[in-house]
Chains A and B, each alone.
Chain A
Amino acid sequence: MSRMPLPADRLVQPKLVGYDPTRPRPWLERLAYTLFFAALWAMVILAYGAVPALFRRFGWLSTTAGFLAYAVVEAVLAFLLAAVVALILIVVLRKYLGKVQERVGPMHYGPAGVFQTVFDALKLLGKEDFAPKRVDWLIFRIAPAIVFVSAFLLMVALPVAGGWVMADLNVGLLYIVAVSTLGAYGVVLGGLSQGNKWGLLGGFRAGAQLVSYEVPLALALLAVGVYAGSLRLSDIVEHQYGVWHVVPLFLSFVVYLVASIAELKATPFDLPEAESELVAGYNTEYSGMSFAFFFLAEFVELFLLPGFMVVLFFGGWHGPLFGLAPGSFAAGVLQSLYFLIKVAVWVWIFLWIRATLPRFRDDQLMDLAWKGLLPLALVGLLVAAFLRMFLEVL
């Protein structure tokens, strides 16, 4: 046999469907993201602005039947919005991680891979939703619902523009704390009910993480409430006309930022699902749509936590109105755009953190929360109280 030929500069690229590595099309990706953003904006306008305005315009809200119809329509719209947010953010996360990591990310489904999540979701829908014999069946099935419903309920209280909120609760801040804690229960129960040791450890960790970050988070929210003089979220946004809360309440903002990453279970604090340690942590035994609900909830929270951060610390929907009357529909459209842009910036920062840092250890997270964040949050609360007092004296 003759000698094998030298493999001189041969570099055969496999032919990939839908993606030509020699011809990257960044404009296509930019266009896709712009369209994504526009779709999200349109959904927000529809759910928070157009449909309520329609019901008010025709006076349907005064009748019981009209009010019930309104509630059903809004619930469906909130669910659709949650689904759209999750679908968009998942592909955005994957594309962004691809950019950071010097690869192309999803490329195959749709132009520049924009429909990747849709196909993922379809795949998960088609999968068997399997439960092993050892699970505590009822809790195992309820846990994903708790997680998703809590994320979905948070969406109701999000004020996206002046007067644009599904439920303008006078206890908005308390509602956020209560409902977001509920989601963590889902994670703990899901971990403990599956009769799997990795899930059990993930559940333990989720519980430890929950009690650690919820206290500083609640105190940071309380500081905002004290400073703004109201627990109603729209009042808090109105209170920021002069200066955004991030300036006077910087300490509380830092606490909220760190605690919300812990709540998201994103990378420096992704202990409950730490895939290299606990296999998949609390969702080890979940498959099909049960798993998808955990996944969806995670990405809805990735939208909502920066959303509430913008509401509480970055002036919510504030921005130049160019002469539009505040409270008008056109002003609402513009304000919701400002809100979404601010949220997008913060989502980007969250993803950036996720792409960069390694993971903390469980005891380090608890140290950080109890010895670092809690005193910081208390000082932040004191600062807020003092500032409030001075403002009232003046």
Chain B
Amino acid sequence: MRGPTTVEPVPGRTDELIINMGPQHPATHGVLKVVIGVEGERITRAVPHIGFLHRNHEKIEEARTYPQIITYTDRMDYVSGLQNELPFILAVEDLLGVEVPQRAKLIRTIFFELFRIASHLVWLGTGMLDLGAITPFLYTFRDREMILEITEKTAGARMLPNYFTFGGVRRDVHPDFFKDVAHFLDFFETRLPDYYALVLDSPVFQARAVGVGVLSRERAIARGASGPVLRASGVAYDVRKAEPYDAYPDLEFQVPTRTEGDVFARFWVRFKEMEESVKIIRQALEKVPKTGPYKGKVPPRVKPKPGARYRAVEISRGHLGTYVVSDGSERPLRVKHRSPSFANLQLIPDLFVGARFADAIAILSSLDPVFGEVDR
């Protein structure tokens, strides 16, 4: 079904104000534009417009060799950069038939979960900024900085490291890596109570979040929502459990789920996911050998056999899938990314209409879209 593509003023109706929220609005997390009609503070209509950050990823990737494409995938969800490399790499590994050493799988998993924490920290900071609290933003960005420094030590880059590669990771980890990660986890666990006190346990926050932007289970499934948004509506779907990849089959963790489907539930789920990530990384740190192979045997010229493969991973925002079609040459015939924020963003008309204007901001921050990945 096609929804309305724009909001026109109703002739003769004077109580409705039509506002362009974005693309230069402080709370739209980048370049979303939502045309909304408001009656006082209540939203009557909402139409999201996307595409302001479209960079033609999928078409460009058809003209690049396989190792070059990894760099592009980083730039989709730039907040959780490293995670985006994995679905493409998994698909190509399947096509190549490469064995990945267990140590490389564990290293990948540690990085994957570190970036989940980093991404959720950015979400928490900016989300609370949208709700009017400045302080959590600076706390979370300082904690995230530690993750970025760990990444920098090993991979050389901070946000978009281009570190995973076919058959494992590009180079061995820095000698301090395991010590640094353990130190970060210890530190982060001392910080979590602060975040609970400032956010989830704050009565002002609860007043703003409980019962706001309720998304029903059926609606979430119908719109193809995934990630924390889906799990907050009572569906315990997590790609890490549904189609385990890398080292996840060997690790124990819960999938935090809540049934309310409101803004508070989505915040709660992300909080619990950060705690689960800490547990996952601790287990992986125990299992990972300190030395050993970090990359499997991969031919120098990556030429997968002809065929198609779809692999998905659970990035911070949900189900990120990549479909790769190979014709046997060193460039793919077609690459298609299925991005979670794009699907989650379809919920905007459902959730905005009937909400108050201030609620709309809270709802948008609880959906946590990243526009690099929405528009690709």
Contacts and interface: CB of A to CB of B under 8 A. Distances in A.
Interface stretch (A2-10, A250-258, A305-313): A2-10
Contacts of A357: 132-133, 202, 204
Given A101-B139, A356-B135, A361 B356 contact: yes
A276 B26 contact: yes
Given A201-B357, A204-B40, A101 B135 contact: yes
Contacts of A362: 41, 356, 358
Interface of A: 4, 6-9, 11, 97, 100-103, 197-198, 200-201, 204-205, 267-268, 270-271, 274-277, 279, 355-364
B174 A6 contact: yes
Contacts of B153: 6-9
Interface stretch (B52-60, B123-131, B321-329): B123-131
A41 B142 CA distance: 38
A277 B17 contact: no
B156 interface: yes
B76 interface: no
Given A9-B176, A277-B358, 14 more contacts: A102-B139, A201-B17, A271-B358, A277-B357, A277-B361, A279-B25, A358-B128, A358-B131, A358-B132, A358-B208, A359-B131, A359-B132, A359-B358, A361-B358
Contacts of A364: 207-208
B63 interface: no
22 contacts: A7-B152, A11-B149, A97-B135, A197-B19, A198-B19, A200-B17, A204-B41, A267-B133, A271-B358, A276-B129, A276-B132, A279-B26, A357-B133, A358-B128, A358-B131, A358-B202, A358-B208, A359-B132, A359-B358, A361-B207, A361-B356, A363-B41
Contact of A102 (B38, B138, B176): B138
B27 interface: yes
Given A204-B40, A363-B356, A101 B208 contact: no
A103 B141 CA distance: 11
Contacts of A267: 132-133
A361 B17 contact: no
Per CB-CB distance, the 9 closest pairs between chain A and chain B, nearest first, are: A359-B132, A101-B138, A358-B133, A358-B131, A276-B27, A361-B358, A276-B130, A358-B132, A357-B204
B134 A101 contact: yes
A277 B131 CA distance: 9
Contacts of B356: 361-363
Interface in B134-187: 134-135, 138-139, 142, 149, 152-153, 156, 171, 174, 176
Contacts of B19: 197-198, 201
Interface in B8-60: 17, 19, 25-27, 38, 40-41
B198 interface: yes
B205 interface: yes
Contacts of A274: 132, 358
Contacts of A355: 134-135
A360 B208 contact: yes
A100 B356 CA distance: 31
B359 interface: yes
A356 B358 contact: no
Nearest to A280: B26
A246 B131 CA distance: 32
B41 A360 contact: no
Nearest to A354: B134
Q: For the side of the interface on B, what is the size category?
A: 35 or more
Contact of B27 (A7, A9, A277): A277
A270 B358 CA distance: 12
Nearest to B153: A7
A101 B40 CA distance: 35
Contacts of A359: 131-133, 204, 208, 358
A360 B205 CA distance: 8
Nearest to B157: A7
Nearest to B365: A276
Contact of B138 (A11, A103, A201, A361): A103
Given A276-B361, A361-B358, A356 B132 contact: no
Interface string B278-319: 000000000000000000000000000000000000000000
Nearest to A274: B132
A100 B41 CA distance: 33
Nearest to A357: B204
Contacts of B40: 204
A344 to B, nearest CB: 21
A6 B157 CA distance: 10
Contacts of A198: 19
Contact of B156 (A7, A100, A205, A360): A7
Contacts of B130: 276-277
Contacts of A100: 135
Nearest to B126: A276
Most chain B CB neighbours (cut-off 10 Å) among A102, A359, A360: A359
A360 B134 contact: no
Most chain B CB neighbours (cut-off 10 Å) among A97, A200, A275: A275
Contacts of B202: 357-358
A4 B157 CA distance: 11
Contacts of B38: 201
A201 B171 CA distance: 54
Most chain B CB neighbours (cut-off 10 Å) among A204, A355, A356, A363: A356
A232 to B, nearest CB: 37
Contacts of B149: 11
A1 to B, nearest CB: 14
A8 B152 CA distance: 9
A360 B204 contact: yes
A64 to B, nearest CB: 52
B44 to A, nearest CB: 14
Contacts of B142: 102
Most chain B CB neighbours (cut-off 10 Å) among A197, A270, A277: A277
Contact of A361 (B25, B26, B359): B359
Nearest to B198: A356
